[in-house]
Amino acid sequence: MTDTKSPLFPEIQPYRSGHLAVDNGHSLYWEECGNPDGVPVLFLHGGPGAGLSPTHRRFFDPSYYRIVLFDQRGAGKSTPLGEYRHNTTPLLIDDIEAIRAMLGINQWLIFGGSWGSTLALAYGQAHPENCLGFILRGIFLCTKAEVEWFIGGMKWFFPEVHAEFAAAIPEDERHDLLAAYTKRLFSDDPAVYMPAARSWARYEGGCLFLKPQANAVDEFEKDEVSLGLGRLEAHYMMHGAFMEEDQLIRNIDKIRHLPSVIVQGRYDVICPPNTAARLHSAWPESKLHMIWDAGHAAMEPGIATALVRATEQFKLQRRFD
């Protein structure tokens, strides 16, 4: 690892990357890093719509892992940016399978945080035979209660951030902020959808960390991030992630035999710890690590350390302690 200040592995560049055309005009950016002959691991980013960062490559020992990352539909370098049509959880699962087949991978470790944990569980339950195990962070199951919390409940901890989020909507529409934002985010007029996307992204960015991080809000507000994040988060929340209510808990038996670790910030306001506790209760074989001095973000020091520890444990033992 690089230094004592960061638990992450050194910065690396992809040895291979490209775009994969899927359906209805969507094209997925993908990349591979690390050891071409190593144990495959798939990184699933959050949001939905948040896209990749070079930092995401650094949770894994590049001498051991064949690290596969991709921007999901409508996110990051995938095109069209912010496209919510023909964008559902079953289609994302199909995309993962298309990438696996393209790369000739039989099985891989699945690593996902926040929305990435949702997609990891959904993919695993659809294709358990292709999974070696799971490393999950900041658990989000996209239940109605979680969506309601995100839209309205976070004001109990971040009242000033939520007040700004609500203020972007006329007062007579604030009784249903998700519907009001959706109407604007799905407009065809950039003068309408871009301010809504920036406001949505600013709201989430302002609640990510236990201690305020101004640069997090700045990053989220960039057009190339906020459009995918705002549109796709609203899209998936409006449709319950295109799953039945609590589907991921009910179907947990499909993956209970696989090793798993859950890393959860104790003071995660975006994805509160009760969801991780529910998942662990339904999946008692999983290992739950509650990080006492952390919020939601993967780069909270305690969370990043626990995630790297999990990738190292799997590397050595193919299980988690």
**pLDDT tens, residue by residue, 77-106:** 999 999 999 999 999 999 999 999 999 999
User: What is the tens place of the pLDDT at every residue in 130-180?
Assistant: 999 999 999 999 999 999 999 999 999 999 999 999 999 999 999 999 999
Q: Is the dihedral of CA 266, 235, 122, 98 positive or negative?
A: negative
- Tokens in use for 307? 């995630």
Place of tokens 């002959």: 37
**Domain check: are 249 and 161 in the same one?**
no
Specify the pTM: 0.96
Instruction: Give the domain-ending residue among 240, 269, 291.
Output: 240
Asked if residue 7 is part of any domain, the answer here is: no
**Catalytic entry in 61, 71, 95, 268:** 268
Active site residue 268: yes
Place of tokens 């049509």: 85
Domain total of the chain: 2
Q: CA 185 to CA 163: how far, in whole Å?
A: 19
User: What is the tens place of the pLDDT at every residue in 243-280?
Assistant: 999 999 999 999 999 999 999 999 999 999 999 999 99
Q: Can you spell out the DSSP letters for 271-317?
A: S-HHHHHHHHHH-TTSEEEEETT--S-TTSHHHHHHHHHHHHHHHHH
Looking up residue 97, the CATH number of its domain turns out to be: 3.40.50.1820
**Catalytic entry in 78, 114, 117, 199:** 114
Q: 111 phi and psi, to 5 degrees?
A: -125, 120
Average predicted confidence (pLDDT) for the chain: 95
Which amino acid would we find at residue 106? N
Asked if residue 299 is part of any domain, the answer here is: yes
Q: Range of 152's domain?
A: 144-240
The residues that bridge with 66 in the sheet, in sequence order, are 34, 40
Instruction: Give the domain-ending residue among 183, 206, 240.
Output: 240
